[in-house]
Amino acid sequence: MEDEAPVYDVDILNAINERFAIDTVITHTAPSFCELQSKNGLVTWAANDKGNLMADVEEERQAMDEIHEHLLYNNHPISHWCYGHFHQSWHSVIGDTLFKMLDIMEFYQIR
């Protein structure tokens, strides 16, 4: 759907920043420096796509990068960032944040 793509909206993030300190981020996809990095399976999907899937994916990851940078710049204490778009399990601490990719039906409790 058209309205499903993530959007980097400075005004909304600044409004949130005025009232809250964000320590956990839950998104569908992830910043570009997180897994999944391989685009092997994506090529097959892109071949059958009527739109511009490869560009859409790049734009989604770029929006996540911008949101991440905005949150760090505004000193949000992000300890966890969870996402699941790639249907695999992976995790890594990058900076002070645990990035956690969840597989289908994988659950993760943040303590």
**What pLDDT, in 10s, does the model give residues 60-95?**
999 999 999 999 999 999 999 999 988 899 999 999
Confidence of residue 54 (pLDDT cuts 50, 70, 90): confident
- Sheet order of strands, 24-26 included: 24-26, 80-83, 97-101, 90-94
Question: How many CA atoms does the CB half-sphere of 80 hold within 13 Å?
Answer: 11
Model pTM score: 0.86
Q: Could you give the percent of the chain with pLDDT greater than 70?
A: 84
DSSP 3-state of 58: helix
Burial readout 10-21 (b: 16 or more C-beta within 10 A, e: otherwise): eeebeebbeeee
Burial readout 87-102 (b: 16 or more C-beta within 10 A, e: otherwise): eeeeeeeeeebbbbbb
Tokens of 18: 């005025």
